[in-house]
Structure formats: C-alpha cells, structure tokens
Amino acid sequence: MDDFLLVLGFSTLPLIAAALFSLVTPPLGATLYLRQEILFGIALPPAGALAVAFGAAFGLAEGDRYLLYGLTFLFLMLLTWLLPLGMRGGRMPPRRREIVLASVFALSGGLTMLVLALSPRAETYLHYVLHGEILAVRIGEVWVAAVASVMLLLLFLWRRKAAYAFCLDEESLFIRRKGYKRTVFTYRLAAVAIVSGGILLIGPMLMTTLLILPALLGEKVTGMDKYMVAVAGIGFFGTVTGFLIALGFDLPPSPMAAVAVACVGLLFRAAYRN
C-alpha cells in the first residue's frame, strides 16, 4: 500500500492530465461517430505523432514543449483543412472519405517510423509515448490542459445545439448560411486542439481509444445530452480506473487505461436500460 501511495505521488500530474483528456475527448469522438467520420479518430492521432516525431528530430522536445504542441497543432489543422470534408465544394462520398482517412493513417504510421529510424533523438523521445508511458508531464502543461479543457467543455455546453445540428444533419445547418462557417471552423479547431494536446500528454494510443470506444459503447442511450454525458463518463471512469490499476501493478498506464475504458463501457452497455 505504501509503495502504491509513493508511486501515486509521483504520478499525480499524469493522472490529472489523463483525467482531463478523458472528459473532453470522448464527446469529440461521439461527434465524429455521429458525423460518420470516426476514421478521423483513427487517422488524426498517428498524423499528430508524425508531427511530434518530426519536431522531436529537430530538438523541439527539449525544454518547454510548447513549440512542439504548436507544430503538431498547425500540422493537424493543415491536414483537416486540406481534406475536403465539409459541405462547401461538395461533401466527399463516405466510401471515398473512408479510404482517404485510412490512407492518412497508413502513411502517417510509415513516415513516423521512418523519422524515428533516421533520428535517434526522436526515437528516444517517442519510444515511451508510443509504448504507453505517460509519466513525463509537467505542471505548466497540466495547467494549460486544465484551462483548455474547461474552456472547451464550457464552449460545448454553450453551443451544443449547433454541434448537434452539425453532427445530425449538416445540410439543415448549411442552408441557414449564418453561423455555418463559424461552426465548422470552431469544430475543427477544437478537434485539432484536443488531439494535439492529447498526443503529447497521454499518447496516441489512449487518444484513439478515447475517441472511439466510449462513442460505440454509449450509443444505447437515448437523447443527445444523455449520450454525451454517457461517453464522457465511460472515458473518465475507465481512464482513472485503468491508470490506478497500472500504478498498482506496475503496468504501462496507457494500454491499461484503454482496456479499462473498454471494460467500463461494456459494463455500462450491459447495465443500461432505456
């Protein structure tokens, strides 16, 4: 027990970071799922990991990592802007969208491995992140993540009806013109901010898990507000539980949290009655 408390003392910051991201990431995954763009959840984390590897190869991971966050954010923003997924210019048919996003996933993974092979500095830095260790979080980063998470949650609470309209029936929002472009831009900005921060703080594996599993396992709920609360709850309780188990049994936190999110989600799905 004493050993556990000692490890927990060292792991407070990563635990807080993981808990924060487990609250904001699943609702983002749920909106992607509702928009039939869940492959974004698979494609963006590896693409972000590529930007991190590239930045680390050029020494951006040393000292404050804010430049690395900035580079990852800009890279993902550029990527989402280049993919013609909105209504303007014609919405890409689902089959084509799937293959494009799958290509981004495949290419990002390959290029990341190549950068790691070419740069020992990037390889050393990313080794732990890619293998699910999330223990190198600093207090400044946790503060930034906390402020950003609270702001994103408040923004979502305030504008959730617009987000739901965007997810459920984009055409109905588009024909109003007023507010459509702003909604698309804000949505993409929030998605990229969450994924960029998450990759560096909790790693691509847990990010992908939090984007996908709660959205799937919470879908029996009826009602949009309830669904969002359910996915955030599954993400939060799963991540915190998994993290604590990992600390207790000296396992890597990220994979353990991913498994715990699945278990909590399955329990929720089995127990939930409309």
**Can you give the binding site for other proteins, defined by CB under 8 A?**
34, 36, 87, 90, 159, 161-162, 164-179, 183, 219-224, 226-227
CA quadruple 242, 243, 246, 248: dihedral sign:
negative
* Cβ-based nearer residue to other proteins, 36 or 103: 36
Compare residues 85 and 247 and give the one whose CB is closer to other proteins. Answer: 85
| CB of 136 vs other proteins, minimal distance in Å | 38
Minimum CB separation of residue 183 from other proteins in Å reads: 8
Minimum gap (Å) between residue 92 Cβ and other proteins: 13
- HEC profile for 65-81? CHHHHHHHHHHHHHHHH
Instruction: Considering the complex, state which of residue 1 and residue 271 has its C-beta at the smaller distance from other proteins.
Output: 271
Shortest distance in whole angstroms from residue 273 CB to other proteins: 14
| H, E, C per residue of 186-251 | HHHHHHHHHHHHHHHHCHHHHHHHHHHHHHHHCCCCCCHHHHHHHHHHHHHHHHHHHHHHHHHHCC
DSSP state string for 11-67: THHHHHHHHHHHHHHHHHHHHHHHTT-THHHHHHHHHHHHHHHHHHHTTTTSS--HH
Three-class secondary structure of residue 181 per DSSP: helix
Compute the least distance from the CB of residue 217 to other proteins, in Å: 12
Residue closer to other proteins by CB (options 87, 245) is 87
- Cβ distance to other proteins smaller for residue 2 or 171: 171
